Amino acid sequence: MTSKKRPNSDKSANFNLHLPSTKAAKSVAKEAMPFPKISYSIVHAIPGRIRFRIPLIARDTEYINKIKSAMESDNRVINVRANPQAASIVVNYKVGVIPDNQMREHLVSLIQTAQDLATPKEVTTKSIVRAIFDALINLIDNTRQINQARNVIVYRRFKTDIWERILSTSRSIIKRLKSATMFFLPNKRWRLHENGKVNSQPLQLQAVGEGDAV
């Protein structure tokens, strides 16, 4: 009894059916690759206060904003202070709400996931007022253009009528009022979070003294 051997081409064909392409394998490996961990260490910890050293803080301003926003959105956190020069951040939180070790684990989790958060949008008092004045000035300019076009159609020439004088004077008054308001208006900022909450605070930098160093 003789046995027939299957051609080698069939074996290679069947073998190739079970192997993904090199490009697909690289794509799957890339998707499966975990997000790089944020390096940190706990410098000091007592009930209600913990200090982290995070090297990324020293070189990434956007990360500072994200980590502060993530921590400050927690109602158990009292305040957060970051010191880029020391690459550290101090978190003061309410004592007795949850055990300190659970709060520490929660803050560590925020450190690792803060990079994935969207940066909160900020609006300032001056930006709002400036937008209102600019909208009024644009409205006046558009109205003047319409009035000038009407004068050209009616009188066949440009004519400075009473409406042109009123609009021109109003524009000058609003521009002066805008300059004075922007000069004396205290600048505050509101940070809008995705959950709809708005936090307000003065738009100023807080100096860190040697005794209060983070």
Q: SS3 string of the chain?
A: CCCCCCCHHHHHHHHHHCCCCHHHHHHHHHHHCCCCCCCCEEEEEECCEEEEECHHHHCCHHHHHHHHHHHHCCCCEEEEEEECCCCEEEEEECCCCCCHHHHHHHHHHHHHHHHHCCCCEEEEHHHHHHHHHHHHHHHHHHHHHHHHHHHHHHHCCCCCCHHHHHHHHHHHHHHHHHHHHHHHCCCEEEEECCCCCEEEEECCCCCCCCCCCC
Q: In what order do the strands lie in the sheet with 198-202?
A: 121-124, 188-192, 198-202
Place of tokens 């809008």: 192
Q: Report pLDDT for 119.
A: 57
pLDDT by residue, tens only, the chain of 214 residues: 454 555 554 544 444 444 445 554 444 444 444 455 888 999 999 999 999 999 999 988 888 888 988 888 888 999 999 999 999 999 999 998 999 999 999 999 999 888 877 655 566 777 888 889 999 999 999 999 998 888 888 888 777 888 889 999 999 999 999 888 888 877 666 555 544 444 444 433 333 344 444 4
Would the pTM of this model clear 0.85, i.e. be above it?
no
Task: Report CA-CA distances (Å) from 123 to 120, 130, 190, 191, 196.
Answer: 10, 12, 5, 7, 14
Are β-strands 88-93 and 188-192 bridged in parallel, bridged antiparallel, or unpaired? unpaired
93 closest CA partner among 83, 103, 81: 103
Length of the chain: 214
Q: Report pLDDT for 91.
A: 95
